[in-house]
Amino acid sequence: MDQKLERMKELTARLSEAAKAYYQESREIMSNFEYDRLYDQLRALEEETGTVLAGSPTQKVGYEVLSELPKETHPAAMLSLDKTKEVEALKEWLGDQTGLLSWKLDGLTVVLTYEEGSLVKAVTRGNGEIGEVITNNARVFENIPLRIPYKGTLVLRGEAVIRYSDFEKMNGEIEDMDARYKNPRNLCAGSVRQLNNEITASRHVNFMAFALVQADGVDFENSRDRQFQWLVSQGFQVVEYQVVTGENLSDAVEAFAGAIAEYDIPSDGLVLIFDDIAYGESLGRTAKFPRNAIAFKWADEVRETTLSYIEWSPSRTGLINPVAVFEPVELEGTTVSRASVHNISIMESLELGAGDTITVYKANMIIPQIADNLTRGGIKDIPDVCPVCGGETQIRQVNDVKSLYCLNPDCQAKKIKSFTLLVSRDALNIDGLSEATLEKFIGAGFIREFADIFHLDRHREAIVEMEGFGQKSYDNLIQAIAASSHTTLVRVVYGLGVAGIGLANAKMLCRHFKYDFDAMRQADSESLTEVDGIGQVLAEAWMDYFAQQKNQDMVDHLMAELTIEPVEEEEESGEFAGMTFVITGSVERFKNRKELQNFIESRGGRATGSVTAKTTYLINNNVNSASSKNKKARELGIPILSEEDLLKLLEGEYHAH
């Protein structure tokens, strides 16, 4: 008995810590698989011993809310659902009743209240009893109706979610890989609970209604299905569902399971609720669960395999992430051979080493994870040197988590931005080489310098097995790389990433030096500052770059892979020939500044970023602005044009004020 109680104490502490991280801090320190396993173990011990310890997560429905947002007590406690992983148990629970089977969405539960047809309040679920008031944030959710036809008091519950497609797009805009959100739920939780709803508005939060709590005076004919139909008529998006009976329940579960891989909204299972409202309510509730609904968690398909080795993947911050590479197995209809281990602490908890027999699964049927290590061989292969640069590594402990870091400040993995710029649209324009993909390739040692991008075919077998890749993606990437090798000198100069040399300055350099790259890289300060837009600071940055032999070698290797398209020496022609413009402020007649720049250049003019003595005109629709560029232009006697003035100049009708 003493051993069982000690185990219960240990489980309570571990699960409470995981719940605190998940509910209060929107982060995960334990997989859903592991949490459910330990939770079920604790509940079994409680039933066996008849003892429930204080603070047991089996007696709670959430975690204490800690935030600066206002708090509010829910009129009735919002309980979590009992759950099962067996379809037969679902059938037995439903009996001869009709039910609604829907997605169990993985976001943040929110309660909305409408009065007189207007949204007046939004409160998060919080700990089930006390939530946070987020009304201002809910008003900027993408699909919440602010006004509805119904004028009585309406209270409904739903899930605030961020779609995978929006999540990936937003995560892709965060340059620091380690600052990216781990999953859509974390991003959603942070977005919904912002103190500034301008941030919420930028996060593409959606609301999916899943329960109607109150709508006085509306006859729903005792049917949840009718409630959902009515909510749709009021402008709400409801969670996708199917009406089921014992006869078609299995088929419905199978249909949802087949759709999850392509479903754009995060889901971690299904919910089954009785359609008969009165019958469901008559069943009452337990201390933790209502009896009118039950959750269905996917029975994870677990496969046994052998761990081949741990691959160490460095990132831009120096963090080196361990990835388990194992003998390929079929999981949920696809072949998998890799799973992230995240950090050394997790490796230690699994006692994970090459040659071990492990079990793997797909979290929520999507993300490969290690479930358990059956042989516990122990850690054998934490590298002393970085796999990318060969620099010294160090194990650091931050917030009780041990991780491996590369100490070399010049590690290629830390220079991911330079590789990202080189392949960007205005440089070599290699479609398929996103920053995340580059980081994977650099971490795996496939790319050490620019020229290596053109030899990724040497790593075909490894690339096609990477998560998110396959033969088709690989073929498309190799095609894009081949196409990019035929390029222009302007694109190359811009893509080198010399500090301060943007696309406009790259054009100016190429024109001034008549597209002679050797002359450009050997140029001194005097000849560089003769170029429009290049001052002393940019000239020094250019010279410093080429003063480093490693940069010279890297550029030589890159140029050997490229075919530079010849450019005939331009004779300046057009209405703006010989003129240099600087554009500032907002534009009105053109779509954006880029379009205005193209307009100028197509007529022989040049557009630079800084006002200098060589500037012919400054373009600013606010001619009388006190901006620094306007002030500089006035000091130098440079005319300031509005867009209207520019068009008059084109027609020869402009007269200086």
Question: Which residue blocks in 485-619 are alpha helix, DSSP H?
Answer: 489-495, 503-512, 517-521, 525-528, 536-547, 549-561, 593-601
Q: How many Å apart are CA 537 and CA 539, to the nearest integer?
A: 5
Reduce the secondary structure of 402-454 to three states and give it as a string: EEEEECCCCCHHHHHHHHHHHCCCCCCCCCCCCHHHHHHHHHCCCCCCHHHHH
Tokens of 333: 């209809």
Q: How many C-beta neighbours within 10 Å does residue 612 have?
A: 16
DSSP secondary structure of 71-105:
EEE-SS------EES-HHHHHHHHTTS-EEEEEEE
Tokens of 497: 């990433």
Q: Point out the residues that are catalytic.
A: 104
Q: What are phi and psi of 51, to 5 degrees?
A: -115, 135
**How many residues are given for the chain?**
657
Q: Dihedral of CA 540/541/542/544: which sign?
A: positive
Residue type, 544: D
What is the rounded radius of gyration, in angstroms, for the C-alpha atoms of the chain? 31
Buried b (16+ CB within 10 A) or exposed e, 378-415: eeeeeeeebbbbebebeeeeeeeeebbbbebeebbbbb
CA distances from 67 to 4, 139, 193, 245, 443 (A): 36, 20, 8, 43, 38
- Going by DSSP bridges, is the β-strand pair 367-373/357-363 parallel, antiparallel, or unpaired? antiparallel
Tokens of 261: 């891989």
- Exposed / middle / buried, residue 302 (Cβ in 10 Å: 0-12, 13-18, 19+): middle
Q: How many Å apart are CA 319 and CA 124, to the nearest integer?
A: 35
Residue type, 631: K
547 three-class SS: helix
Quick check: 4 and 45 in contact, CB under 8 A?
Answer: yes
Closest CA to 175 of 270, 317, 305, 45: 317
